[in-house]
Amino acid sequence: MSTARRLHHSYEEYLDLLRHNETKLEFCEGEIFAMAGGTLAHAQLGGAMLSLLRAALVGRCRIYSSDAKVRIEATGLSTFPDGSVVCGDMQVSAVDRHAITNPSLLVEVTSRSTEDYDRGEKLSHYKQLASLQTVLILSHRRAEITVVSRNEGSWDVREFRAGERLTISRPELTMAVDEVYRDVPLDTE
């Protein structure tokens, strides 16, 4: 009779795997997960959002691509959001000098394989970041951006669709949904 065994890894083992692996890996509670590779449309959508964020926040905040690791110390999750924004001085993890711990805004572009996780468990982890004010979740299916924003101890969720302008207050910015999705082929299947 065989029994399934769950392997737990140290954070140091995770960091060693990252150094020797081209795949982005996520770490939580001793488990290491390979992150799904994105499509060209996914990369284009993330790039468009980061470009617009940079233009809107230049001189006020720093914008990071999906190569920047974010660590949520409260839950132990280390992951690579599609985009991160830090307003003010950047702080890094005591256990990982390559992981940001104080993003003000995070960007996630959904995909078929990650949508439920991005909108559910991963978002729950993100909400544990004391510095985090806003999460932008970009749909891969339609021109739609979900804005999840901190509001006096709770979180508000608003949807912005094609033809609309989204406005957020922290960090302060406004942008057209159509500008983000311009020339991006959506996954309509």
SS3 for 148? strand
**For the chain, how are helix, strand and coil distributed in percent, rounded to 5?**
25, 35, 45
Domain count, the chain: 1
| Preceding peptide of 81 cis, ω within 30° | no
Does residue 72 lie in a domain region?
Answer: yes
pLDDT computed for residue 7 by the predictor: 63
Does residue 71 lie in a domain region?
Answer: yes
Helix (H) or strand (E) holding 71: strand 69-72
Does residue 11 lie in a domain region?
Answer: no
Does residue 126 lie in a domain region?
Answer: yes
pLDDT computed for residue 5 by the predictor: 45
Phi, psi values for residue 136, rounded to 5°: -105, 120
Does residue 135 lie in a domain region?
Answer: yes
pLDDT in tens, the chain (189 residues): 444 444 688 889 888 888 888 888 888 888 888 876 678 888 999 999 999 999 999 999 999 999 999 999 999 999 999 999 999 999 999 999 999 999 999 999 998 888 999 999 999 999 999 999 999 999 999 999 999 999 988 999 999 999 999 999 989 999 999 999 999 988 766
Does residue 186 lie in a domain region?
Answer: no
Does residue 108 lie in a domain region?
Answer: yes
Does residue 145 lie in a domain region?
Answer: yes
Whole domain around residue 99: which residue ranges?
38-181
CATH number of the domain that residue 164 is part of = 3.90.1570.10
Say how far apart CA 63 and CA 53 lie, in whole Å: 7
In DSSP terms, 79 is beta-bridged to: 70
